[in-house]
C-alpha cells in the first residue's frame, strides 16, 4: 500500500499543480516510485495517452516530473467546459456524457466509484502518491458528495497540506477561513500550510507566522518565493491572457472563449527573441509576425465569436499582407470554407461558414478522435526549406476535414495525410497538438521570420531538455524553501 500526501488550496491558481509536480520530482530524486493523482480536473488543456485516452495536462506535467508515463488513472475524471453552465465529462479517458453543473452533481456518487478504482491502481503500483485537490475545500455548498478535496481525503485517508497564495493578499485570512469552515475531522487532516508566491524579505513575514500560530496552532511548512516558472500550469492561461512583452518576434494566438491546449505554445515562450500574445484587437493582429488559431472545445461557438468581434476581417487582412497563419485542431477547422454539424454535436446549427482561407470542409462527428500521432512535414510553410522535419504529438477532435485538389497536404501522420496548406505556404492547418514541441520545425519557422526581419539568427532550442531543467528548478526551489523533514514525517517516510 502506498503512502500519500495531498495538497489543497485556499483557492484556484495558488500553486497546487506546480508544488505537486515539484514534490513528485523531489521524491523521485530520492529513489521513490511516486505518482501524481487528481480525481477530478476541470480544464480545456488535455493530453492523449499511448492508449488513446484523454487526461488533464497538469497530471501529465506531474507524471513527467515523476519520470513516469502518464496514465488516465492519475486523472480519472476530466471536465471540459462547453458553456458557462455545462461540461463534457470524460471518465477514465473516454467521453461519458455532456452534463450541466446541476446534473453532474447527481452523478458524483457513481463517479466516486471510478475515482476509487483509479486510486487503487496507483496504490498497487507505486510507493508514494502525491494528490492535488481542486479549487478550495471551503466551498461548503459543494461539500456533499465531494470527490476531489476533503471528501476524497477522508475516503482514501490522506494527510493534507494547505497552500495559500500571498501574492493575492490576505493569505493568513484565507488559510484561517478555509480551516474554520472545515468539519472537525477534516481539520485534523490539515498537518500544516505553505505560503506560496512570496515577494521580498521573508524575515518580515516571520512575526506574522508566529502570531498566526497563536490563533491557529498548525505549522507553517515553508514560504516559497515568487518566481516565473517555465512549467505548464492549467490555471495559468488567465495570467497569459494578460501578459505583454516587447520581444522582436510576436506569435499572436487568437484569444477564444473556449481556447484549449494553450500548452501548444509553451515552446515559443522559451525562445530568447520570441513573445506569445493572446490577441483580440486589430493592433495585436497587425503586430503579430505569425497568427495562430488555437484549438477549441467549442469550435462553432468560437468561430461565431471571432466573427462577432470582427476578428475574421483582421485575419483576412493579415493574410492579404502575406503573414503566416496556422490553425491547430479547431483553429484548423475554422480556416476552411464551411463547418457542418448535421448531428448537432456542438450547436443547433447545421453549418457555419468558415474563414475561407483554405479550400477545406469539416463535418462534425459523434465519435471523438483521440490518438497519439507521429510522422513528418510533407509541405512547409513559407520561408522554410524543404527539410524532412519529423513531428509527433496527439490528436483530440470531433470533426473530419476534407480538402480540394488545389490544396497541398501539410503533414503525414501514422501513414495518412493530415492538414492542408495553400499554394503560397502562408496558410496551413493540422489536427496535431505538439507540432511546435518539435525543435527543428519550430526553429526553421522562426528562422524564416528572423531572415525576413533581418534579425540575428539563434541557436536551436532543445525544448525537452529545458522542460527537464524546469522540473529540476521547481524541485530545488520548493526543497530549499519548505521543511522536507516535516513533509516526510507527514508522508510517513524517513
Residue from 356, 333, 325, 334 nearest 251 by CA: 325
* All cell numbers assigned to 233: 500550469
- Quote the CA–CA distance of 315 and 320 in Å, as a whole number: 9
Q: What is the largest CA-CA distance in the chain?
A: 75
Catalytic pick among 389, 397, 433, 443 = 433
Which secondary structure element, helix H or strand E, spans residue 188, and what is its range? helix 184-189
Is 329 annotated as catalytic?
yes
Q: Which three cell numbers stand for residue 150?
A: 476533503
Please pick, among 220, 329, 420, 428, the residue that the annotation labels catalytic.
329
Report yes or no: 97 and 89 within 8 Å, Cβ to Cβ. Answer: yes
Beta partners for residue 144, in sequence order: none
**CA–CA distances in Å: residue 417 to residues 119, 132, 351, 402, 405:** 39, 39, 25, 10, 13
Q: What is the 8-class DSSP label of residue 433?
A: B
| Count of C-beta atoms within a 10 Å radius of residue 39 | 27
Cell of 20: 505537486
Query: Among 231, 201, 214, 190, which Cα is nearest to 22's?
Result: 231
How far apart are the C-alpha atoms of 450 and 248, rounded to whole Å? 9
- Listed residue (436, 432, 368, 430) closest to 399, CA to CA: 368
* Residues acting as catalytic residues: 329, 433
Amino acid at each position: 500500500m502506498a503512502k500519500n500526501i495531498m495538497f489543497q488550496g485556499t483557492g484556484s491558481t495558488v500553486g497546487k499543480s506546480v508544488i505537486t509536480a515539484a514534490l513528485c520530482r523531489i521524491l523521485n530524486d530520492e529513489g521513490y516510485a511516486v505518482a501524481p493523482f487528481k480525481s477530478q480536473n476541470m480544464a480545456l488543456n488535455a493530453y492523449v495517452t499511448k492508449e488513446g485516452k484523454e487526461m488533464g495536462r497538469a497530471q501529465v506535467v506531474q507524471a513527467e516530473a515523476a519520470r513516469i508515463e502518464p496514465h488516465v488513472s492519475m486523472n480519472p475524471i476530466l471536465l471540459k467546459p462547453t458553456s458557462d453552465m455545462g461540461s463534457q465529462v470524460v471518465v477514465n479517458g473516454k467521453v461519458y456524457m455532456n452534463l450541466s453543473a446541476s446534473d453532474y452533481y447527481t452523478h458524483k456518487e457513481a463517479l466516486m466509484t471510478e475515482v476509487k478504482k483509479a486510486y487503487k491502481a496507483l496504490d498497487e503500483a507505486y510507493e508514494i502518491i502525491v494528490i492535488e485537490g481542486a479549487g478550495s475545500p471551503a466551498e461548503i455548498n459543494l461539500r456533499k458528495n465531494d470527490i476531489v478535496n476533503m471528501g476524497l481525503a477522508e475516503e482514501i485517508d490522506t494527510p493534507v497540506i494547505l497552500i495559500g497564495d500571498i501574492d493575492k493578499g490576505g493569505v493568513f485570512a484565507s488559510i484561517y477561513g478555509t480551516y474554520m469552515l472545515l468539519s472537525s475531522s477534516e481539520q485534523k487532516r490539515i498537518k500544516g500550510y505553505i505560503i506560496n508566491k512570496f515577494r521580498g524579505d521573508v524575515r518580515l513575514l516571520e512575526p506574522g507566522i508566529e502570531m498566526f500560530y497563536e490563533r491557529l496552532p498548525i505549522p507553517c511548512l515553508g514560504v516559497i518565493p515568487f518566481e516565473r516558472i517555465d512549467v505548464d500550469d492549467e490555471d495559468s492561461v488567465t495570467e497569459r491572457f494578460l501578459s505583454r512583452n516587447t520581444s522582436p518576434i510576436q506569435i499572436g494566438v487568437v484569444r477564444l472563449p473556449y481556447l484549449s491546449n494553450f500548452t501548444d505554445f509553451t515552446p515559443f515562450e522559451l525562445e530568447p527573441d520570441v513573445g506569445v500574445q493572446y490577441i483580440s484587437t486589430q493592433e495585436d493582429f497587425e503586430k503579430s509576425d505569425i497568427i495562430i488559431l488555437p484549438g477549441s472545445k467549442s469550435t462553432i461557438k468560437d468561430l461565431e465569436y471571432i466573427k462577432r468581434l470582427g476578428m475574421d476581417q483582421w485575419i483576412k487582412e493579415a493574410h492579404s499582407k502575406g503573414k503566416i497563419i496556422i490553425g491547430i485542431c479547431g483553429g484548423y477547422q475554422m480556416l476552411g470554407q464551411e463547418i457542418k454539424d448535421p448531428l448537432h454535436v456542438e450547436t443547433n446549427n447545421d453549418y457555419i461558414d468558415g474563414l475561407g482561407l483554405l479550400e477545406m470542409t469539416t463535418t462534425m462527428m459523434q465519435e471523438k478522435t483521440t490518438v497519439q500521432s507521429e510522422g513528418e512535414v510533407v509541405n512547409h510553410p513559407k520561408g522554410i526549406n524543404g527539410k524532412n522535419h519529423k513531428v509527433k504529438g496527439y490528436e483530440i477532435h470531433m470533426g473530419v476535414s476534407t480538402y480540394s485538389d488545389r490544396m497541398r497536404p501539410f503533414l503525414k501522420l501514422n501513414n495518412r495525410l493530415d492538414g492542408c496548406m495553400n499554394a503560397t505556404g502562408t496558410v496551413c492547418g493540422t489536427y496535431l497538438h505538439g507540432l511546435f514541441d518539435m525543435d527543428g520545425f519550430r526553429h526553421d519557422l522562426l528562422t524564416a521570420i528572423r531572415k525576413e526581419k533581418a534579425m540575428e539568427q539563434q541557436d536551436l532550442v532543445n525544448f525537452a531538455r529545458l522542460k527537464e531543467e524546469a522540473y529540476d528548478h521547481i524541485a530545488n526551489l520548493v526543497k530549499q524553501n519548505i521543511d522536507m523533514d516535516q513533509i516526510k514525517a507527514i508522508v510517513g517516510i524517513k
